[in-house]
């Protein structure tokens, strides 16, 4: 099981930027915790961060046929990027949206997520722990998909007898 974690603009500044809002933990620390949890769950995990919308779209598209799941914090692009929404929709890979803060309690312009309608789920307001929750949810989703595939294979095998 391969999971790709995609981080949007300014997340490379975690631990430095507006600590009263985003906390003190650095992105590398979040990724290290996720990597340890992924290893415990026999999952391969890959991390990508960019401040550029097109690079985020490219990375989503590169997941097609390679990744089983995506965890994304598209940061400010969540509220503005139809291109990221369209990329997620196009690849048809289970995707979980994560935000460190509760976007619904913040400025009005942050209340609407353009990607929410095309993702499997959304985790907001849990700080860095939200990434752990997203990873555990993704592992569960992928195990359920695998179980369904196994059941379908068995049914097909039985039907051929």
In degrees rounded to 5, what are phi and psi of residue 2? Answer: -115, 130
What is the architecture of the domain spanning 2-160? Answer: 3-Layer(aba) Sandwich (3.40)
Write out pLDDT tens, residues 10-44.
999 988 887 777 777 899 999 999 999 999 999 99
The CB density around residue 140, as the number of other CB atoms within 10 Å, is: 11
Catalytic residue ranges:
22, 99
The secondary structure of the chain as a DSSP string is -EEEEEE-TTGGGTTTS-HHHH-S--HHHHHHHHHHHHHHTT-EEEEEE-S-HHHHHHHHHHTTTT-SEEEEE-GGGGGT-HHHHHHHHHHT--EEEEESS-GGGS-GGGS--SSGGGSSEEEESSTTHHHHHHHHHHHHHHHHHHHHHHHHHHHHHHHH-
Query: CB-based contacts of 110: which residues, under 8 Å, 6+ apart?
Result: 78, 79, 103
Q: What is the pTM of this model?
A: 0.92
Give pLDDT tens digits for 88-114. 999 999 999 999 988 888 878 777 999
């Amino acid at each position: 099981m391969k999971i790709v974690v995609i981080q949007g603009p300014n997340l490379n500044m975690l631990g430095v930027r507006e600590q009263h809002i985003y906390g003190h933990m650095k992105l590398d620390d979040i990724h290290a915790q996720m990597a340890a949890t992924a290893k415990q769950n026999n999952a391969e995990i890959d991390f990508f961060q960019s401040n550029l919308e097109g690079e985020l779209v490219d990375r989503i598209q590169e997941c097609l046929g390679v990744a089983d799941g995506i965890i994304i914090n598209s940061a400010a692009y969540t509220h503005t990027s139809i291109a990221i929404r369209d990329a997620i929709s196009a690849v048809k890979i289970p995707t979980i949206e994560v935000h460190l803060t509760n976007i619904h309690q913040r400025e009005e312009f942050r209340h609407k997520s353009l990607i929410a309608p095309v993702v499997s789920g959304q985790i907001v307001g849990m700080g860095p722990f939200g990434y752990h929750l997203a990873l555990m949810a993704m592992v569960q989703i992928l195990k359920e998909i695998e179980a369904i595939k196994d059941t379908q294979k068995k049914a097909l095998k039985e039907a051929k007898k």
